[in-house]
A and B are shown apart, each in its own frame.
Chain A
């Protein structure tokens, strides 16, 4: 057969064989085998870029790569020494692909020109096939890469949706672990773990391909050659390709127990701080692709966002709660609520806001004792009763007293002192802050907890807002009390003055007038009957004296009725009623004596009310009811006059109000035009407050 036909046939066989290969490597292998077959060669090989792609004819592993590297097409008389055969002539043809590759054959007798042409043909076919396979390979790799990216993007999107829905962090961690595990085909486990301050790491989200493995909650100490530790130390990605190498550390041992053989991890940083680590692991060694630890980056960012969001939300909620609590207390203070109510509210709000088991508000007394003025505790905490304790010993109240600054104790010792009877109640640690009113230490707020963990570091700061409000409330209350006391004192002083005047009048002018009147009567008795004009004159003087005396008595009574001091409110009121120009109905339900300033206040109120009723209200009758119960004296005065009394418009009611409020009482007037005037007064029955100093 013509050799050209044979060559064609050989080439056809070569094409059929090589072009049916599916990978570059197998195409190279088929090419050298077919070339050796076709040309009856001892050796055939393809070298590309200094590397041996495929060879046949050498015992395995003995290919002389250096010699083969030197063979180039077009170099005549190339020779190779083939073991077991001897020197062989070499023919080579260049391949267009891989670039710079060479197909060579070695045979004891050299190739004919025809065979050389065939070799060239084979080289071309091999190159074409490998080019095509390389293109297909790239396309496939590119497609796989695109698919992989698409899968990862979908996974990231799913997680991002969860993050946006503000699902709980635990759910997000588990979701991320699951998505990462599913996205990486080589992964058998995936975990999100948090670094804790005690150099441990705890799993907060986990997934295993086989399912059924509880990873969440596992905690180990850092140390050794494992991904958690390496990521922690480097603050960067890390991988361990074979856990069997290092068997010493707890984390590695735990990993091996679970069945992890190789793992990779990436750090999770929240707002610039290393928060935790994302780990993927496989049950086999060396299967995680290079770069796995870097592909985790996008997922770790999502986790970081979640954590930051959650932290921000929690912070926001905390601040909102605090603001609401402060506002509630501030409202009370602004409303002028009595101090006990404020103290109560403060201790309760603090107790509900902070992770504490009891809150106590105390006042430091001048005698080295403290008085507890407000207290709150959780229902299952029994607080000791008793209002006062002596300062001293190692406890927060004493520390605050001594330093006038915030103090904290993380556990009470034996020398806790009387001020800290909390230990018996099971309370362990405490934080106290001072309350300063107008620059002076007034008392303290102390919060305590039963937990063994110390109270959070920001407790002192968070209490500051409340102590300011308390100080304000106390200052307000003090000012209020001062005001009331001073008003009462003013009134009392005025009353004393009036009494003095009355007494002076009585002892002085009134007495002399009485004496004068008597002397005049005596003188009158000595006047002879014929001096009628003189008698009548003396009579007139006596009457004048008498009425002056009456006026003076009346005047004295007006400023201070003696009967009130001597006999009390009820008789004085009866006198008033008798002397009133309009009908008065008295309903006095109390007979006991009351403190002086209370009786005086009540007397003047009713006196003024009666005068008003007669003068302004044009009433025909007044009903007066007096009642003393539960420490309060109630006066109820109503007339049937024209009404329309306005305390602001100089109807004498202002004076009444002043006097009533100076006593610490309440004054109400209901006076609608045409419906009469109704006064309701309440006076607290208690001794006057001494001036505070």
Chain B
């Protein structure tokens, strides 16, 4: 049945043989698909799933990535595949890819930003990016894209996950399975698209000064080794031996927060620590001289943030119901929510979407640039509403 704009989501939990095929079948609710977005658990045979999707969908431009958990209307999963599709004459889409991006993140951002279709009749534009968060400071990707697009085009997206292993994530581009790359879809639409950003963390205790840092690595806080200062602040006992997992668990729900003049603090996810050097490693830049708070959150604050983010994204639609929503949700928030909490969260999103389909995944970092130059977030929920 033709429709000039449509959005569909299909999902299949569990590493089933035909998971990919089933997901894409459910997503293709109408003809003339313009874009497929695939979120796939790394537990899957990516090649097989991708092949199945391509078989069913043909040559429709496809971008996607691996996750640390998937979000679909049907509910959250940790081993599933979710396919979101949009199509119809009301959309025009162009996809691009940049590979070997570590060390060239700004350039990669600039490259993929040049993917917008030049359609004056489809004035609402957004660039959706899926990136390899382990490749470096993703703010550089945002800067690169912003430098090309300027203030007029918002950016939205997230960093691929690998089930919390933090070793290797994958990005999907048509029939290619890549790593260390950025894939993007430039979407032009004749109806508004809205973006909402919230995290729900709050400050814990007194701030500390970043007395020494280089890029993503914090060496000292208040002139003390960063790792020690962090653990002390949280009252965690000094581990007898290097315990990355323990640190990761702690860090998941206690990111660093950098203050903003207004609005929420900028949150920085702690990816790990160097037990020899006693430094902390974040997934984005922590500038030297900055004042940081250790943040904490609970289910309530996280869910409140969910509502607020959805609300913000819907605001741009001027009251219209969305065709669908895509959520880029940080794994840290999931950690706070727990299994039950994630189900609630998705329920709330679906509710805010007025029953429209929802897709998304749990990310290692979120991209949302609507105002100003900053666009990379941690421990945050970014919601894209497709009008």
A interface list, Cβ under 8 A from B: 1, 3, 5-6, 9, 12-13, 15-17, 33, 36-44, 56-60, 62, 82-85, 108, 115
Residues on the A chain within 8 Å of B288, using CB: 12-13, 16
Q: Could you tell me the distance between the alpha carbons of A60 and B146 in the complex, rounded to whole angstroms?
A: 9
Tell me whether B371 and A59 are in contact (CB under 8 A): no
CB-nearest residue of chain B to A56: B373
Tell me whether A37 and B372 are in contact (CB under 8 A): yes
Residues on the B chain within 8 Å of A57, using CB: 146, 150-151, 373
CB distance from B287 to the nearest CB of A (A): 4
List CB contacts (< 8 Å) of B143-170 with chain A.
143, 146-153
Q: Could you tell me the distance between the alpha carbons of A44 and B151 in the complex, rounded to whole angstroms?
A: 11
In the assembled complex, B319 has its CB within 8 A of some CB on chain A: no
Q: Could you tell me the distance between the alpha carbons of A43 and B373 in the complex, rounded to whole angstroms?
A: 8
Tell me whether B259 and A6 are in contact (CB under 8 A): yes
Most buried by A among B149, B150, B152, B207: B150
Residues on the B chain within 8 Å of A56, using CB: 143, 146-147, 373
Q: Could you tell me the distance between the alpha carbons of A13 and B148 in the complex, rounded to whole angstroms?
A: 25
Can you offer 27 A-B residue contacts whose CB atoms are under 8 A?
A: A1-B207, A1-B259, A3-B261, A13-B288, A13-B289, A13-B290, A16-B289, A36-B372, A36-B373, A37-B372, A37-B373, A40-B260, A40-B263, A41-B372, A56-B373, A57-B151, A59-B150, A59-B152, A60-B147, A60-B149, A60-B150, A62-B150, A83-B152, A84-B152, A84-B153, A85-B371, A115-B261
CB distance from B203 to the nearest CB of A (A): 10
List CB contacts (< 8 Å) of B96-117 with chain A.
110
Tell me whether B148 and A16 are in contact (CB under 8 A): no
B interface list, Cβ under 8 A from A: 110, 143, 146-153, 207, 259-263, 287-291, 371-374
CB-nearest residue of chain A to B147: A60
Partner of A12, one of B110, B143, B262, B289: B289
Tell me whether A60 and B148 are in contact (CB under 8 A): yes
Q: Could you tell me the distance between the alpha carbons of A84 and B259 in the complex, rounded to whole angstroms?
A: 27
Tell me whether A9 and B290 are in contact (CB under 8 A): yes
Tell me whether A15 and B152 are in contact (CB under 8 A): no
Tell me whether B290 and A37 are in contact (CB under 8 A): no
Residues on the A chain within 8 Å of B260, using CB: 40
CB distance from B153 to the nearest CB of A (A): 7
Tell me whether B153 and A59 are in contact (CB under 8 A): yes
Residues on the A chain within 8 Å of B151, using CB: 42-43, 57-58, 82-85
CB-nearest residue of chain A to B286: A13
CB-nearest residue of chain A to B146: A56
Residues on the A chain within 8 Å of B207, using CB: 1
Sort A-B residue pairs by CB-CB distance and give the 7 closest, nearest first: A84-B152, A12-B289, A59-B150, A36-B373, A13-B287, A58-B150, A16-B288
Known: A58-B150, A59-B149. A42 touches B371 (CB 8 A): yes
Most buried by A among B148, B289, B291, B373: B373
Known: A15-B289, A84-B152. A40 touches B371 (CB 8 A): yes
CB distance from A95 to the nearest CB of B (A): 20
Q: Could you tell me the distance between the alpha carbons of A108 and B148 in the complex, rounded to whole angstroms?
A: 21
Residues on the A chain within 8 Å of B373, using CB: 33, 36-37, 41, 44, 56-57
Residues on the B chain within 8 Å of A36, using CB: 372-373
Tell me whether B150 and A83 are in contact (CB under 8 A): yes
Most buried by A among B148, B261, B262: B261
CB distance from A129 to the nearest CB of B (A): 15
Tell me whether A9 and B291 are in contact (CB under 8 A): yes
Tell me whether A59 and B372 are in contact (CB under 8 A): no
Residues on the B chain within 8 Å of A38, using CB: 261
Tell me whether A84 and B150 are in contact (CB under 8 A): yes
CB-nearest residue of chain A to B266: A37
CB distance from A413 to the nearest CB of B (A): 79
CB-nearest residue of chain A to B290: A13
Residues on the A chain within 8 Å of B374, using CB: 37, 40
Tell me whether B147 and A9 are in contact (CB under 8 A): no
Q: Could you tell me the distance between the alpha carbons of A36 and B150 in the complex, rounded to whole angstroms?
A: 12
Known: A40-B262, A40-B372, A41-B372. A17 touches B287 (CB 8 A): yes
Tell me whether A16 and B150 are in contact (CB under 8 A): no
Q: Could you tell me the distance between the alpha carbons of A42 and B375 in the complex, rounded to whole angstroms?
A: 12
Q: Could you tell me the distance between the alpha carbons of A41 and B261 in the complex, rounded to whole angstroms?
A: 12
Residues on the B chain within 8 Å of A59, using CB: 148-150, 152-153
Residues on the A chain within 8 Å of B289, using CB: 9, 12-13, 15-16
Residues on the A chain within 8 Å of B147, using CB: 56, 60
CB distance from A104 to the nearest CB of B (A): 14
CB-nearest residue of chain B to A57: B151
Name 15 extra pairs, CB < 8 A, besides A59-B153, A60-B150, A62-B150: A1-B207, A6-B261, A6-B291, A13-B289, A16-B287, A16-B288, A33-B373, A36-B373, A41-B372, A42-B371, A56-B146, A59-B152, A82-B150, A82-B152, A83-B152
Q: Could you tell me the distance between the alpha carbons of A467 and B344 in the complex, rounded to whole angstroms?
A: 126
CB distance from A489 to the nearest CB of B (A): 116
CB distance from B46 to the nearest CB of A (A): 34
Q: Could you tell me the distance between the alpha carbons of A39 and B260 in the complex, rounded to whole angstroms?
A: 9
Partner of B152, one of A6, A13, A85: A85
CB distance from A87 to the nearest CB of B (A): 12
CB distance from B367 to the nearest CB of A (A): 16
Q: Could you tell me the distance between the alpha carbons of A355 and B207 in the complex, rounded to whole angstroms?
A: 99
Q: Could you tell me the distance between the alpha carbons of A115 and B152 in the complex, rounded to whole angstroms?
A: 24
Q: Could you tell me the distance between the alpha carbons of A340 and B372 in the complex, rounded to whole angstroms?
A: 111
Q: Could you tell me the distance between the alpha carbons of A62 and B148 in the complex, rounded to whole angstroms?
A: 9
Residues on the A chain within 8 Å of B152, using CB: 59, 82-85
Q: Could you tell me the distance between the alpha carbons of A56 and B143 in the complex, rounded to whole angstroms?
A: 9
CB distance from A59 to the nearest CB of B (A): 4
CB-nearest residue of chain B to A42: B151
Most buried by A among B152, B259, B260: B152
Q: Could you tell me the distance between the alpha carbons of A639 and B57 in the complex, rounded to whole angstroms?
A: 148
Q: Could you tell me the distance between the alpha carbons of A115 and B148 in the complex, rounded to whole angstroms?
A: 27
CB-nearest residue of chain B to A9: B291
Q: Could you tell me the distance between the alpha carbons of A664 and B291 in the complex, rounded to whole angstroms?
A: 130
Tell me whether A12 and B290 are in contact (CB under 8 A): yes
Residues on the B chain within 8 Å of A15, using CB: 289
Residues on the B chain within 8 Å of A62, using CB: 150
Q: Could you tell me the distance between the alpha carbons of A439 and B260 in the complex, rounded to whole angstroms?
A: 117
CB distance from B260 to the nearest CB of A (A): 7
Q: Could you tell me the distance between the alpha carbons of A352 and B78 in the complex, rounded to whole angstroms?
A: 105
Partner of B143, one of A33, A83, A84: A33
CB-nearest residue of chain A to B203: A1
Q: Could you tell me the distance between the alpha carbons of A44 and B150 in the complex, rounded to whole angstroms?
A: 11
CB distance from A33 to the nearest CB of B (A): 6
CB-nearest residue of chain B to A5: B291
CB distance from A37 to the nearest CB of B (A): 6
Residues on the B chain within 8 Å of A3, using CB: 261
CB distance from B188 to the nearest CB of A (A): 13
CB distance from A277 to the nearest CB of B (A): 44
CB-nearest residue of chain A to B207: A1
Q: Could you tell me the distance between the alpha carbons of A115 and B149 in the complex, rounded to whole angstroms?
A: 26
CB distance from B262 to the nearest CB of A (A): 7
Q: Could you tell me the distance between the alpha carbons of A13 and B209 in the complex, rounded to whole angstroms?
A: 11
Residues on the A chain within 8 Å of B148, using CB: 59-60
CB-nearest residue of chain B to A39: B261
Most buried by A among B291, B371, B372: B372
Tell me whether A9 and B150 are in contact (CB under 8 A): no
CB-nearest residue of chain A to B293: A1
CB distance from A639 to the nearest CB of B (A): 124
Q: Could you tell me the distance between the alpha carbons of A458 and B321 in the complex, rounded to whole angstroms?
A: 106
Known: A33-B143, A60-B148. A9 touches B372 (CB 8 A): no
Q: Could you tell me the distance between the alpha carbons of A8 and B262 in the complex, rounded to whole angstroms?
A: 16
Residues on the B chain within 8 Å of A5, using CB: 291
CB-nearest residue of chain A to B214: A20
CB distance from A629 to the nearest CB of B (A): 111
Known: A15-B289, A33-B373. A40 touches B261 (CB 8 A): yes
Residues on the A chain within 8 Å of B149, using CB: 59-60
Residues on the A chain within 8 Å of B263, using CB: 40
Q: Could you tell me the distance between the alpha carbons of A6 and B148 in the complex, rounded to whole angstroms?
A: 30
Q: Could you tell me the distance between the alpha carbons of A257 and B165 in the complex, rounded to whole angstroms?
A: 57
